Chain A
Amino acid sequence: MHRLSRTVAGAGLSLGLTLLSPAFPAGTASAAPPTPTSMPGMTTAPGMTMAPGMAMAPGMTMAPGETMAPGMTMPPGMTMAPGETVSMPPGMSMPPGMTMAPDLGTASGSRPRGLVLGGFALVNGAILAVAAGLRRRPVTGRRLAS
């Protein structure tokens, strides 16, 4: 069991260090800056701003005054917070003036995937290593007395 715990902890630490290493090629989700993505059949309304990395559902139409999915309308000037996606069902529309912020992590053109996964593996590996180390510690006279 101790060997297994050491192996698990060691694997976590190694994976974390590998993922965090600058040499790790997949440190970011996309190396090149993203370009706005638009799908066939999409039309945009005047005044609308599309942020980098934004993707829209195929067939999405954005014309002023159009109705959206089940009884929905969006008022002009609406702003979507970072992290909100712009994927909406076909037939949905957005009025002029609407601005959409980029999806979380795509603004800089990269998602710190390697950093996050590496940090996750490193932290969890460290937790397991500490616990495994403490578990292996022999019972001393003082601890027995207490």
Chain B
Amino acid sequence: MTAPDVRPAPDDPDAVPRPVPDPSGPDLLRRRPVARLLRSRWYPGVFQVPVAAVFGLVAYVLLAGPETAHHNAGTALLWVVWWPLLPLAFLLAGRFWCAVCPFGAITDAVRKVVGLERPVPRFLKRYGIWLIDAQFLLITWADHVWGVVGSPWGSGVLLLLLTTGVVASGAFLQRRAFCRYLCFLGGLCSTYGRTGVLDLRADRAVCAGCTARAACYHGTATVDPCPLSTFPRTMDSSAHCSFCGNCVKSCPNDAIRLRLRPPTSQLWSVRTPRVEESFLAMAIMGIVLVQNVTMLGVWTDLLDLMARAGVTAPVGAFTIAFAVAVAVPVALLLAASAVAARRTVESVTANFARFGYALIPLDVAAHLAHNLFHLLSEGGHVTGTVAAVFGFPVESSAALAGAGTIRVLQYALLAAGAAGSVHTLRRLAGHRYRTAERRRATTAPYLVMIVLLAAVNAYLFTQPMTHRM
């Protein structure tokens, strides 16, 4: 869903946003090792195989291993190592995880064996991101109500459910439809991946004279089509690119460029801002908040408060807290958009869609900072639990770093995220408005929001937190 504009007068200097310049910078594909890697027939398989092996181990241990999270290597690998490190991977390599994800490999295998290759339904293309939003919220809710992260069995069941969705998608639909339109992790990847430094695009000047009938999109006799159904020529970010290298291999004109760009720069000039993507960014912020709150002592006070108000069932209390936590960032963004709309030429919806992207760097930072606690205070469990799977009892300390070190790193991350959000906000406003007054009028309410959310997160990180294992 793209947002409607309140049309300004045609002679208004801000009638239309400034044109988006194509990214510049040295092309990494001009460097022989990078080009050879991406053009190799073994890429990305060479990364997929070890990831699939670890995934198989994780799934097996979750379903058949020790019943307590504390002793389960699957929980340690999945929630204490992989989940906290994933946002870091987004920063460094965007959506590269999707190229090596075992679910993607399962989709490809099913498609090859029984795939019907039906076109993706239009409703999925249009509303898939809302399904991702809903799925994200549902999984987080289910985690607290039935236990997913803290229960190896619950985590295993989640993997089985996802696998079923992947098998169904691979059996009936084209390409990696599940990854592109239904995977909640894919939604997270595309949102956070925009902060990444890797950027893949096609050189439009070269593409203008292309006669290869979009081989980069459709593939060739020897190269598969783009798994995420992305046409390099029309890309305005790498949100839907997994750097799988198919377009690099199939383009006969050598038009694909792979560049290193400043972090968050893909957010600065989004051509078609989408309400649902901004909503997802805000929902994730709410999820991070609620994840923090339920791990704190203040959560008990909130439960007491709700019990006095008549909500005694834990599920009901959590559902209320969850709904409020998710609604607060969305409502804040809506309020800031309404304030900005009063003195600018875009509607509340258009502002919501465009400037929601400014919150993504803070989102990533809050997510990373929260998970850093688990990684550094519980990461030591990995050695012991994984060794135990292979029959080697190893005594290991849980904490990899002291509480003071973790807190300093959390604040540093949060500060970097807030700075990234403020900078993105300025760039977005500068791209949209030529007049300084409108830029200021737009920036101010969102700035307040960024400061407020950063302060709430900073406060939460001062509080003691429970462990996952």
A86 to B70, CA, bound (A): 8
Per-position binary interface string of chain B over residues 81-112, scored 1 when its CB falls under 8 Å from any chain A CB and 0 otherwise? 00000000000000000000000000000100
What CA separation (Å) do A68 and B315 show in the bound complex? 26
**Minimum Cβ distance to chain B for residue A119 (Å):** 9
Residue pairs across A and B with Cβ atoms less than 8 A apart, 6 shown, are A69-B377, A84-B150, A105-B153, A120-B164, A123-B164, A130-B171
CA distance A86 to B318 in the complex (A): 19
B212 part of interface (Cβ distance < 8 Å)? no
Chain A residue total in the interface (Cβ 8 A): 47
Q: Report the Cα distance A69→B463, complex, angstroms.
A: 13
Contacts A74-B297, A111-B67 aside, 11 further interface pairs with beta carbons under 8 A come to: A8-B113, A71-B464, A73-B297, A74-B466, A81-B315, A84-B151, A87-B70, A88-B467, A89-B398, A103-B153, A124-B167
Contact A83–B150 (Cβ < 8 Å): yes
Q: Which of B110, B144, B147 lies in contact with A128, CB distance below 8 A?
A: B110
Q: Judging by beta carbons under 8 Å apart, are A83 and B148 in contact?
A: yes
A134 touches B116 (CB 8 A): yes
Tell me whether A127 and B167 are in contact in the complex, defined as CB-CB below 8 angstroms, given that A103-B147, A134-B116 are known contacts. yes
Residues 121-153 (chain B) with a chain A CB within 8 angstroms: 144-148, 150-151, 153
**Is B168 touching A127 in the complex (CB atoms < 8 A)?**
yes
Q: Is the CB of A75 within 8 A of B113?
A: no
Q: Residue A85 at the B interface, CB < 8 A?
A: yes
Q: Which residues of A are in contact with B by a Cβ distance under 8 Å?
A: 1, 4-5, 8-9, 29, 53, 55, 57, 68-75, 77-79, 81-89, 103-106, 111, 113, 116-117, 120, 123-124, 127-128, 130-132, 134-135
- A-B interface contact total, Cβ < 8 Å: 130
Expressed in whole angstroms, the Cα–Cα distance for A98 and B150 within the complex equals 18
- B116 touching A85 by the CB < 8 A rule? no
Q: Which stretch of B185-193, B399-407, B409-417 is in the interface?
A: B399-407
Known: A78-B300, A120-B160. A131 touches B172 (CB 8 A): yes
* Cα–Cα, bound, A66→B147 (Å): 27
How close is B74's CB to chain A, nearest CB, in angstroms? Answer: 13
Name the 4 nearest CB pairs between A and B, nearest first.
A83-B147, A87-B70, A131-B171, A70-B403
Q: Give every chain A residue within 8 A of B154 (Cβ-Cβ).
A: 83, 104
> B349 at interface (Cβ–Cβ under 8 A)?
no
In the complex, the answer to whether A131 meets B314 with C-beta atoms within 8 Å is no
Bound Cα distance from A106 to B315, whole angstroms: 19
Closest chain A residue, CB of each to CB of B109: A8
- The answer to whether A128 and B114 have CB atoms under 8 Å apart is yes
Taking the complex as formed, is B469 at the interface, i.e. its CB lies under 8 A from any CB of chain A?
A: yes
Q: State A138–B314 Cα separation when bound (angstroms).
A: 55
Bound complex: CA A68 to CA B157 (Å)? 31
Q: For the complex, would chain B's binding face be called helix, strand, loop or mixed by DSSP majority?
A: helix
**Contact (A104, B151) CB under 8 Å given A70-B403, A88-B70, A120-B160:** yes
Determine the chain B residues whose CB is within 8 A of the CB of A74 once the complex forms. Answer: 297, 466
- Chain B interface, number of residues (Cβ within 8 angstroms): 48
B151: shortest Cβ distance to chain A, in Å?
5
- CB-CB under 8 A from A85, the residues of chain B are 68-70, 147, 150-151, 469
Q: How far is the CB of B68 from chain A (nearest CB, A)?
A: 5
Chain B residues whose C-beta falls within 8 Å of the C-beta of A104 in the assembled complex: 146-147, 151, 153-154
**Contacting pair A70 B402 (CB below 8 A):** yes
- Minimal beta-carbon separation of A92 from chain B (angstroms): 8
Verify B467–A84 contact, CB threshold 8 A: no
Q: Are B163 and A70 in contact (CB-based, < 8 A)? A: no
Write out the residue numbers on chain B whose beta carbons fall within 8 Å of the beta carbon of A77: 300, 304
With A84-B147, A84-B150 in contact, do A72 and B466 touch (Cβ < 8 Å)? Answer: yes
Closest A residue to B67 by beta carbon equals A103
Are B467 and A69 in contact, CB atoms less than 8 angstroms apart?
Answer: yes
Q: B115 within 8 Å of A by Cβ?
A: yes
Docked Cα-Cα span, A45 to B32, in Å, equals 65
The smallest beta-carbon distance between A74 and chain B, in angstroms, is 7
Q: Is there contact, CB below 8 Å, between A124 and B164?
A: yes
- A72's contact among B69, B157, B164, B465, by CB below 8 Å, is which? B465
From B70, B113, B466, give the contact of A5 (CB < 8 A). B113
Interface check B328, CB cutoff 8 A:
no
Q: Which residue of B lies closest to A92 (CB)?
A: B467
Contact B398 A131 (CB under 8 A): no
User: How far does the Cβ of A96 sit from chain B's closest Cβ, in whole Å?
Assistant: 14
Q: Which residues in B have their C-beta under 8 angstroms from that of A89?
A: 378, 398-399, 467
Within the assembled complex, what's the spacing in Å between the Cα atoms of A87 and B116? 46
